[in-house]
Amino acid sequence: MIFFSTVLFTQNLSAQRDRNDIDPKYKWDLTHLYPSDEAWKISLENQMPKVDELVSYRGKLSTNAKTLFTFLEKQSNLYKEMSRLYSYASMKADEDTGNAFYQGMNQEISQKFSIAGSKMSFVSPELAAIPKETIDKFMKQQPKLKTYAQFFDNLYRQQKYILSDKEERIIAEAGKLKQAPYNIYNIFSNAEMPFPTITLSTGEKLYLDQAAYTKHRSNENAADRALVFREFWKSFENYKSTFAQQLYANINADVFTKNARGYNSCLESSISANNIPVEVYHSLIANINKNLPTFHRYLNIKKRLLGVDTLKYSDTYASGVKGVEMMFDYEKGKDLVVNATKPLGESYYSVVARAFDEGWVDMYPSKGKRSGAYSNGSAYDVHPYVLMNYNDDFDGVTTLAHEFGHAMHSYLSNKNQAFANADYSIFVAEVASTVNERLLAKLILEETTEKNARLSLLMDILDGFRTTLFRQTQFAEFELKIHEAVENGQPLTADVLNAMYKDILYRYYGHNEGICNIEDLYAVEWAYIPHFYYNFYVYQYATSFTASVALGQDILNGTPGATDKYLKFLSSGSSKYPIDLLKETGVDMTSEVPFVKAMEAMNYYMDEVEKLLGK
């Protein structure tokens, strides 16, 4: 279980490795989308006339049931193909963020989406103007229209925020501007931003880019960890004003949308589409702050394991269990992910197993490749894709399980829902990923009996509570504050952002109480987080995590009906509102129960650690 494959290269070397030198079996196969760039180009050119054809329906959507259904089907087919086009271009661009040709393709499809959105801006106002009684009559006359029942329910629910045809067209055009801040951030931070070369205590020279930072921030040597943190964050500090302007521009775009549509806040504007009460967001932040003593208990355990007088922020990724090298090469990581999902049934884990052999996964980092990991399930008629920057460690295999949770959610939704209902809400997106993490943790713990190895794994699980529940809520609180600042006309300079972030960081990590020391330099961490460009995305990691605790426990305990309910949930797409979909599994996110269960689980794991350590 604990080994390192010499066939594979380390994260530091692979980050500089040319993509052409990586074995094709470790790379995704995008020819499943289009056999060539030329085929992609031909398909793109074929779509724009379809947009003009749809525009010809303007003013006719209320004519009769047949006309309305024909239009909606043609619109759905157009967006399905354009999503496939976007998937190909964006993933080719992510293979090398410095490749101008594929960046150009990515920009081209984005522009076409904006053009289509602008031309189709008449649709929502025209549909919203049709009386609900007429739509109900149409559905009786044309039963296939019921495919769009959830769409119409959501449309009428948000009717007061739908603007005139002309105003909707302006907002659609403004969508081109909305993309700019993140696109600049992505290319600069991944391809053009200079990073330092440092020398570790071992004499190893290390080019400290994002991939190397991810690997070496958990270095067993405290001095090396401090060096990695200090030099990496200096790089962001050097460009903090640039990052501040990008983030400020992004938030202003959110404020523009909020003001144009008449929402009370950017938060409400963002989560209203999925019918999520703003109270869910505020309740998450309040509950986490109320339970910071539980988080501080974890930090004190980390301090005890590391044997340090003062726990530093640069220590938070270290395992604290020396002499245990938990390494999982590609084959072991793949097998663990497949075996961990067996409680979900053969129909689930068999798809995961064959995905590795069918070109779903792009496994290893290479020069210029987009950092991090994601699953792309928007190619409805093909299959999901998974981008990884795999480390041969517990974090790497956990991330792999996480992304396959997303991939299987997309696979099952696409398989069981019409395209119109297949794209599930962001609010429930992280449930599937974190359930997979819990299944994986359970399996690895069952396979591990040696004390230190078990201790290391328990701490890795607890680290997941830190990074997914507490850290993401910390981000969510910061994101809310910076949006509220701009909404109130306050400036967001780099120094202001640093001060706001540091205040939250101090509170969460108990800096003033002596729990964990935070150096001022680390206040620039906000500049590193791409999710701040995603418009209130991060809180859903935390809410989904709490939901996954309850769901995962029921599945592992063999609770009657739990697995069937969960698979039905994964297959439901957006056929119902996310809060309602979760309620059908027995999880009510409008209550505190899932959060309480998450805290109980965290305390259970800490109890297990303390038993191994001895009181």
Find residue 207's DSSP bridge partners: 197
Q: What is the mean pLDDT of residues 391-396?
A: 86
Q: Sheet holding 385-387: strands in order across?
A: 361-362, 385-387, 374-376
- Contact by Cβ (8 Å): 526, 272: no
Q: Which of 81, 95, 168, 403 is catalytic?
A: 403
Q: Looking at residue 196, what DSSP letter applies?
A: -
Q: Strands 205-207 and 361-362: what pairing?
A: unpaired
How do the domains of the chain map onto residue ranges?
33-162
Q: What is the mean pLDDT of residues 140-153?
A: 96
Residue bearing tokens 């009769």: 64
What is each CA distance from 583 to 194, 335, 435, 571, in whole angstroms? Answer: 48, 32, 16, 15
Angle at 402 between CA 401 and CA 408, to 5 degrees: 80
- Contact by Cβ (8 Å): 311, 517: yes
- Contact by Cβ (8 Å): 339, 443: yes
Tell me, what's the pLDDT at 1?
22
- Contact by Cβ (8 Å): 437, 401: yes
Element (H, E) at 376: strand 374-376
At residue 578, φ and ψ (nearest 5 deg) are: -60, -40
Cβ count near 268 (within 10 Å)? 17
In the structure, what pLDDT confidence band is assigned to residue 274 with cuts at 50, 70 and 90? confident
Nearest to residue 436, comparing CAs of 541, 564, 337?
337
Catalytic residue at 450? no
pLDDT at 180 over 70: yes
Q: Percentage of the chain surpassing pLDDT 90?
A: 76
Residue bearing tokens 């355990």: 301
- Contact by Cβ (8 Å): 426, 272: no
Tens-digit pLDDT profile for residues 13-27:
345 688 999 999 999
- Contact by Cβ (8 Å): 175, 168: no
Tens-digit pLDDT profile for residues 70-79:
999 999 999 9
Q: Strands 385-387 and 374-376: what pairing?
A: antiparallel
Helices (DSSP H) in 162-277: which residue ranges?
Answer: 165-187, 210-216, 222-238, 240-261, 266-271
Long-range contacts of 279-282 (CB under 8 A, 24+ apart): 279/590, 280/543, 280/589, 280/590, 281/476, 281/480, 281/536, 281/539
Compare 460 and 532 and report the one with higher pLDDT: 532
Burial (Cβ within 10 Å: 0-12, 13-18, ≥19) of residue 309: exposed
* Mean pLDDT across the chain: 92
- Sequence length of the chain is 615
Tell me, what's the pLDDT at 7?
25
Please measure the distance between the N-terminal and C-terminal CA atoms of the chain and give it in whole angstroms: 29
Nearest to residue 164, comparing CAs of 122, 104, 127?
122
Tens-digit pLDDT profile for residues 343-380:
999 999 999 999 999 999 999 999 899 988 999 999 99
Specify the range with the lowest mean pLDDT, choosing from 229-233, 280-284, 411-415, 454-458.
Answer: 454-458
Q: Percentage of the chain surpassing pLDDT 70?
A: 97
Q: Strands 361-362 and 385-387: what pairing?
A: parallel
One of 1.10.10.10, 3.40.50.12780, 1.10.357.10, 1.20.140.70 is the CATH number of 33-162, namely 1.20.140.70
In the structure, what pLDDT confidence band is assigned to residue 10 with cuts at 50, 70 and 90? very low
pLDDT at 6 over 60: no
